[in-house]
């Protein structure tokens, strides 16, 4: 039976969280909102609409939300050529794919952002598919994105592992009944990731790769069916 290795992208495979913080902070400033950078950082990983709700409150005038989202997207877009993969991110995906895992990205990034992120990781040959927030009604921390990713690769939840860097990632995995591993490279403390449901926590993709044989991935035994992969994600 096949196994699925699901990955968040921003802050997990690509060192981009700080760039999102700057883009959202400036978007809020331009919109007349004073939102501390540390609060923005804690909200990174939520889809844009939910991030705005989380930071500005649900009981408010939403007429400016689209403008805030466009401002963030425009500002963040100026950083695309500076996006860098975290240490050995691509190697981690390739190692799992070579071991028979179906590797899928689960991200809130929009198409143009996702293309830039995938260029940075440079491991498309390891990917089986990609699930985005646009594919589902509810983004993380709801389980919908992870459940959609599982449906794309045809793997049940008990044969999957999800890797992310935020509490929203860990909560989504818990709601989807998928074992999760947290990475510290997104800037969220270890204790917060564990409290949110992480079965194990590693520094970054390189650290997880070095400990694959003792990680949550080792708890899902290989099946007898061959796991194919494609590069058309």
Tokens standing for 3?
């196994």
Cα 120 from Cα 149, distance rounded (Å): 21
47 shares its domain with 95: no
162 located within any domain:
yes
Alpha carbon distance 201, 2 (integer Å): 24
At which of 26, 48, 78 does a domain end?
A: 78
Residues 62 and 89 in one domain: no
Are 50 and 99 members of one domain? no
Residue at which a domain ends, from 59, 78, 97: 78
Residue 116 and residue 24 share a domain: no
Domain-embedded: residue 177: yes
CATH of the domain at 162: 3.40.50.1000
162 and 109 assigned to the same domain: yes
- Asked if residue 171 and residue 72 are part of one domain, the reply reads no
Please indicate, yes or no, if residue 225 is contained in any of the structural domains: no
pLDDT tens for the 233 residues of the chain, in order: 899 999 999 999 999 999 999 999 999 999 999 999 999 999 999 999 999 999 999 888 899 999 999 999 999 999 999 999 999 999 999 999 999 999 999 998 888 999 999 999 999 999 999 998 788 889 999 999 999 999 999 999 999 999 999 999 999 999 999 999 999 999 999 999 999 999 999 999 999 999 999 999 999 999 754 444 444 43
Residues 134 and 98 placed together within one structural domain of the fold = yes
Distances from the Cα of 80 to the Cαs of 159, 164, 182, in angstroms? 34, 21, 25
In a domain, 159, yes or no: yes
Give the domain-ending residue among 52, 78, 104: 78
Strands 160-164 and 101-107 turn out to be unpaired
What is the pTM assigned to this prediction?
0.93
Asked whether residue 29 is assigned to any structural domain, the reply reads yes
Residues 115 and 68 in one domain: no
Residue 228 placed within a domain: no
Residue 27 lies inside a defined structural domain of this protein: yes
Query: If DSSP codes are grouped into helix, strand and coil, which group holds residue 31?
Result: coil
39/148 same-domain check? no
Contacts of 113 (CB under 8 A, 6+ apart): 73, 76, 77, 80
Structural domain total, the chain: 2
pLDDT attached to residue 198:
98
* C-alpha span between 78 and 128 (Å, rounded): 29
Q: Are residues 51 and 93 in the same domain?
A: no
Domain that holds residue 165: 3-15+84-219
């Amino acid at each position: 039976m096949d196994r699925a290795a699901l990955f968040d992208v921003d802050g997990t495979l690509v060192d981009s969280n700080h760039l999102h913080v700057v883009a959202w902070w400036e978007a809020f400033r331009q919109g007349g909102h004073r939102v501390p950078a540390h609060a923005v950082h804690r909200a990174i990983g939520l889809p844009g609409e939910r991030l705005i709700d989380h930071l500005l409150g649900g009981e408010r005038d939403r007429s400016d939300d689209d403008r805030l989202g466009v401002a963030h997207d425009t500002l963040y877009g100026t950083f695309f050529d500076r996006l860098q993969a975290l240490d050995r991110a691509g190697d981690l995906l390739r190692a799992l794919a070579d071991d028979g895992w179906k590797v899928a990205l689960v991200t809130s990034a929009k198409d143009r952002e996702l293309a830039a992120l995938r260029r940075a990781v440079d491991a498309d040959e390891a990917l089986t598919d990609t699930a985005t927030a646009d594919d589902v009604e509810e983004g993380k921390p709801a389980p919908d994105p992870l459940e959609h990713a599982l449906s794309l690769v045809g793997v049940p939840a008990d044969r999957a592992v999800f890797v992310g860097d935020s509490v929203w990632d860990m909560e989504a995995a818990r709601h989807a009944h998928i074992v999760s591993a947290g990475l510290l490279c997104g800037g969220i403390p270890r204790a917060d990731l564990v409290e949110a449901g992480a079965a194990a926590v590693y520094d970054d993709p390189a650290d997880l790769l070095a400990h694959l044989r003792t990680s949550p991935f080792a708890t899902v035994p290989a099946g007898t069916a061959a796991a194919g992969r494609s590069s058309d994600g």
